[in-house]
Chains A and B, each alone.
Chain A
Amino acid sequence: MKILFLGNLNCIVVIMLNIRLIPTILLKDGRMIKTKQFGAYRDVGNPKTVARMYDAQRADELIFLDITATIEGRHTLLDVIRNVAEECFMPLTVGGGITTLDDALEILHNGADKIAVNTAAVNRPEFLTELAEKFGRSTVVASIDYKKNSDGKNEVFTHRGTYPSGLDPVSWAVEVEHHGAGEILLTCIDREGMMVGYDLETLRSVAESVEIPMVAHGGAGTVQDLVDGIVIGKASAVAAASIFHFTDQSVFKAHAHMKEKGLPVRLI
């Protein structure tokens, strides 16, 4: 942070990196869906229309996560990303089924800026290194999904929350950083779609264990949850979906609330 005195503005201006507010768009077969705890799918619309609205509301970035498992679905994903990137000149992160450098390249060539990898990184952590060497570390996002296991401990799950990995989210976060990830998208499956607030304790444990930025995801239900994710959870950015779909909170209102609470956000 730096305080500047600028004669022409006649005020004190604090310069610092703005907190990012990131709507997430979950995709299945080219449609946008919403889930609860990774289940109970609901179709919530056309991703391009939704992305256009978020762009107009000055969202700071968009994260697309695709859960389609078919080859045809892969082409549909590329179409969606290309369609969005054609008119939304804003940062786009895309994840879902990326297992090779070519998969990543294809997505980047269609307008994405960062690629999110989840299952493939757990299966083969060196994949993160290969991606970082080819595309630069700042292009590589490690997406980590975790929930409480039957022992009551947090455990990382892959394959859209269906396969237990045996990994602890905090130690796995340290490992993905070591392997080349430039950012972590941390999703609490138990809270996803439930609108009960972020898992602040785990967010904070991860944030304090790594030097790369962490995006909080899973559970935001009010604009104050977003602020808590930053202030208490120590996240660099907050991602959310339900709050923008199922409440009257827009990206505008969320930004305004964050600003009111003293967080640096982009001025419109």
Chain B
Amino acid sequence: METRHRELDPSLFESATIDAYEGERIAGPPVGFWRDAWIRLKKNRGALISLAVLILVFATAFVIGPLISSQSPYTQDLSQRYLGPTSEYWFGTDKFGRDMWTRVWAGTRVSLYIGLLAALMDIFVGVVYGAVSGFLGGRVDDVLQRGIEILNGIPYLVVAILAMVVLDPGILTITIAIGLTGWTFMARIVRGRMLQLKNQEFALASRSLGASGFRLVWKHLIPNSLGLIVINLMFTIPGAIFAEAFLSFIGLGIQVPEASLGSLISDGAAELRFHPYLLWLPALVFCLLMICFNLLGDGLRDALDPKMRK
């Protein structure tokens, strides 16, 4: 609230020359939406580091990890049980003598698959549902929105548990179980965006040029909602990875001998007392994934939709 006093001298009060063309000058090359977002994202150190770590984890899980180790995640060797991390078994071995290094990365692969599959479901069900609801509006919108409100009343993990009791456990069924009600949030957001966009001038222009409803949605409205969709996906993926880990932890997820990060953590927790490394290593990878996805999601939200920043 204090006022700063500064020395005043006449040089501060020179009159400016007014150039009528100055206002028309373009200060820099035009910056598109995605480029603008990337520039903003680059300023966010946490998000950038997260992106780098995620790329590294993806690369290690799918390519590097299995490639540089000669061990198999499924071969049992009872003479090599419970070895701590050694030069041969970098993450040690579990109670059946299976190599933990390859097992952890196999588990990471499964978790990532599930996250990405859930993202796909979000796109195909959530975006389509939201787009139809928002674009058509009227009675269709009413009915579809009531449907979502009812679905939202059902706790999703409970639905996932029920679905897993009936379905055979596998990557696809687990994803379906998780995604069964998980897409509603995406649908809501896309619908809101559609309602907002469909009456704007560019939509009207496209329509008066004779574009069909489908073309309008696909070519104009969806691309204009992409930012929001991407932001949402960044939260769907860790959510699905977490849900799978949770299901595996209570014994409903991936079944042996397959592994996911959740089942490895579950196995490790059971042997915590004498072989703590069996828990810490998969738990570390899991937490790293979650932290990076969350940070990157926050960063993308700030970069793609500055208005949503809080």
| Chain A bound to chain B | no
Which residues of chain B have a CB within 8 Å of any CB of chain A? none
